[in-house]
């Protein structure tokens, strides 16, 4: 099957996925992966194009998409003065190591287990969008606390294919950063997470999906190219509108959406275990 034969049946939903994920990544700093993974997993399973480990390929492809979109998002927020390079530098080593560890854990999980884990974490992330983040302290904790926070965020983000914004944004807000600087800084941290995680998914997935063309390990490049190409355009609009939209209301709506999607994925994963 040629590359166009694989892409054409999925082209319209892939373009829509890119538009939605890019806009949300710029608007809310959620990395886009929280939207990309469930949509890709659904498309892979229903189209029949990917029959081996579709959830793993959805996660790996999502991480590859996050690499260029994080660059665009971070650049847009940097121009708006919303990136705190100091906080990024203090968390980056632990995010990096955590991402490597999270990607390594994926190989030992089957498709249903990974789907269940993603669904449960999506529900928890959705619940976090419904509550008001409380400022617990002024600044990040000492190096031991940063190691725990950064590693946990990196592991979870790599495991489920997200850029970490769903976790880093509330963490930074609870440590005293305002929402806009938390979102902007999170965009740059997404790059620190997605690059090592993507490479790890390419390595650990080598030979695992023999029926899939145009893939490197668990990364399917047709989906990456289409979604990333569209998302890199819409992400700028999301960043631009981040200061003009009632984010409190939007976060509550998005939180409910994540709870519904996560519950459905977790149920479908548990149903076949």
DSSP class of residue 273 equals -
Task: Supply the mean pLDDT for the chain.
Answer: 84
In tens, the pLDDT along 144-181 reads: 999 999 999 999 888 888 877 778 888 888 888 887 88
In total, how many domains does the chain have?
A: 1
d(CA 143, CA 137) in angstroms, rounded, equals 15
Count the alpha carbons within 13 Å of 163 in the hemisphere toward its beta carbon.
34
The arithmetic mean of pLDDT across residues 211-217, rounded, is 79
Query: Which residue range(s) make up the domain with 103?
Result: 3-46+55-270
d(CA 200, CA 211) in angstroms, rounded, equals 20
Count the neighbouring beta carbons within 10 Å of the beta carbon of residue 142. Answer: 8
Enter the pTM of the model: 0.86
Question: At 96, is the pLDDT very low, low, confident or very high (cuts 50, 70, 90)?
Answer: very high
> Is the model more confident about 80 or about 229?
229
3-state secondary structure of 220: strand
Count the alpha carbons within 13 Å of 106 in the hemisphere toward its beta carbon.
38
In tens, the pLDDT along 122-141 reads: 888 888 878 877 778 888 88
């Amino acid at each position: 099957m040629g590359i166009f034969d694989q892409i054409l049946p999925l082209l319209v939903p892939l373009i829509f996925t890119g538009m939605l994920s890019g806009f949300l990544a710029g608007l809310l700093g959620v990395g886009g992966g929280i939207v990309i993974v469930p949509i890709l997993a659904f498309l892979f399973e229903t189209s029949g194009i990917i029959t081996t480990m579709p959830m793993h390929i959805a996660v790996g492809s999502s991480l590859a998409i996050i690499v260029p979109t994080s660059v665009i998002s971070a650049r847009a927020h940097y121009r708006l003065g919303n990136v705190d390079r100091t906080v990024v530098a203090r968390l980056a080593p632990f995010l990096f190591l955590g991402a490597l560890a999270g990607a390594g854990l994926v190989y030992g999980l089957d498709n249903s287990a990974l789907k269940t884990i993603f669904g449960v974490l999506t529900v928890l992330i959705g619940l976090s969008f419904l509550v008001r983040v409380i400022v617990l302290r002024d600044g990040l904790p000492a190096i031991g606390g940063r190691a725990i926070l950064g590693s946990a965020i990196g592991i979870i983000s790599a495991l489920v294919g997200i850029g970490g914004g769903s976790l880093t944004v509330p963490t930074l807000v609870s440590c005293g950063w305002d929402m806009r600087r938390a979102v902007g800084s999170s965009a740059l941290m997404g790059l620190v997470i997605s690059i090592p995680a993507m490479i790890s998914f390419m390595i650990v997935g080598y030979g695992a999906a023999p029926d899939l063309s145009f893939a490197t390990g668990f990364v399917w490049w047709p989906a990456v190219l289409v979604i990333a190409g569209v998302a890199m355009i819409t992400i700028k609009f999301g960043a631009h509108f981040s200061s003009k939209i009632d984010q409190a209301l939007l976060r509550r709506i998005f939180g409910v959406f994540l709870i519904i999607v996560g519950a459905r994925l977790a149920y479908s994963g548990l149903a076949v275990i």
